[in-house]
Amino acid sequence: MKLLTRALGSRETESNDFISMLMFEPHYVSTLIEIGESDVASRLDELRAFLREPASAAISAV
Protein backbone atom coordinates (compact mmCIF):
# COMPACT_ATOMS: atom_id res chain seq x y z
CA MET A 1 0.00 0.00 0.00
CA LYS A 2 2.86 2.38 0.80
CA LEU A 3 4.31 1.87 -2.67
CA LEU A 4 0.94 2.56 -4.30
CA THR A 5 0.25 5.75 -2.35
CA ARG A 6 3.77 7.03 -2.94
CA ALA A 7 3.46 6.24 -6.65
CA LEU A 8 0.34 8.40 -6.71
CA GLY A 9 2.33 11.26 -5.24
CA SER A 10 1.44 11.07 -1.57
CA ARG A 11 4.06 11.11 1.16
CA GLU A 12 1.53 10.14 3.81
CA THR A 13 1.17 6.37 3.63
CA GLU A 14 -0.49 5.72 6.97
CA SER A 15 -3.79 7.39 6.00
CA ASN A 16 -6.87 5.29 5.30
CA ASP A 17 -8.31 7.94 2.94
CA PHE A 18 -7.23 6.07 -0.20
CA ILE A 19 -8.79 2.81 0.98
CA SER A 20 -11.96 4.65 1.98
CA MET A 21 -12.18 6.20 -1.48
CA LEU A 22 -11.83 2.78 -3.14
CA MET A 23 -14.63 1.33 -1.05
CA PHE A 24 -17.10 3.79 -2.59
CA GLU A 25 -15.87 3.59 -6.19
CA PRO A 26 -18.64 1.71 -8.08
CA HIS A 27 -16.45 -0.31 -10.47
CA TYR A 28 -14.18 -1.45 -7.63
CA VAL A 29 -17.13 -2.47 -5.45
CA SER A 30 -18.86 -4.36 -8.29
CA THR A 31 -15.63 -6.19 -9.07
CA LEU A 32 -15.30 -7.22 -5.41
CA ILE A 33 -18.89 -8.48 -5.41
CA GLU A 34 -18.30 -10.50 -8.61
CA ILE A 35 -15.16 -12.05 -7.11
CA GLY A 36 -17.06 -12.93 -3.94
CA GLU A 37 -19.95 -14.49 -5.84
CA SER A 38 -17.55 -16.52 -7.97
CA ASP A 39 -15.69 -17.70 -4.89
CA VAL A 40 -18.91 -18.79 -3.18
CA ALA A 41 -20.11 -20.60 -6.31
CA SER A 42 -16.83 -22.50 -6.63
CA ARG A 43 -16.84 -23.54 -2.95
CA LEU A 44 -20.56 -24.09 -2.39
CA ASP A 45 -20.25 -27.73 -1.28
CA GLU A 46 -17.50 -26.81 1.17
CA LEU A 47 -19.60 -23.97 2.57
CA ARG A 48 -22.66 -26.21 2.92
CA ALA A 49 -20.58 -28.77 4.82
CA PHE A 50 -19.21 -26.04 7.06
CA LEU A 51 -22.69 -24.69 7.77
CA ARG A 52 -24.11 -28.24 8.00
CA GLU A 53 -26.68 -27.50 5.35
CA PRO A 54 -28.04 -30.47 3.38
CA ALA A 55 -26.69 -30.52 -0.19
CA SER A 56 -30.27 -30.77 -1.52
CA ALA A 57 -31.24 -27.39 -0.02
CA ALA A 58 -31.40 -24.66 -2.64
CA ILE A 59 -29.74 -21.31 -2.16
CA SER A 60 -31.78 -18.79 -4.06
CA ALA A 61 -29.09 -16.08 -4.08
CA VAL A 62 -26.52 -18.20 -5.92
- Domain membership of residue 59 (yes or no) is yes
Q: Which pLDDT does position 24 carry in this prediction?
A: 80
The answer to whether position 37 is within a domain reads yes
Q: Over the range 28-62, which residues count as b (16 or more CB within 10 Å of their CB) and which as e?
A: eeeeeeeeeeeeeeeeeeeeeeeeeeeeeeeeeee
18 within domain boundaries: no
Domain that holds residue 45: 23-62
Residue 61 pLDDT: 52
How confident is the model at residue 35, as a pLDDT? Answer: 95
User: H helices of 1-62, where?
Assistant: 2-7, 17-23, 26-42, 44-51
Give the pLDDT of residue 44. 92
Contact indicator for 36, 29 with CB cutoff of 8 Å? no
Number of domains in the chain: 1
Please say if the pLDDT value at position 59 is more than 80. no
Condensed to tens digits (0 to 9), the pLDDT of residues 5-58 reads 666 666 655 667 777 777 788 888 899 899 999 999 999 999 888 888 665 655
Within a domain: 58: yes
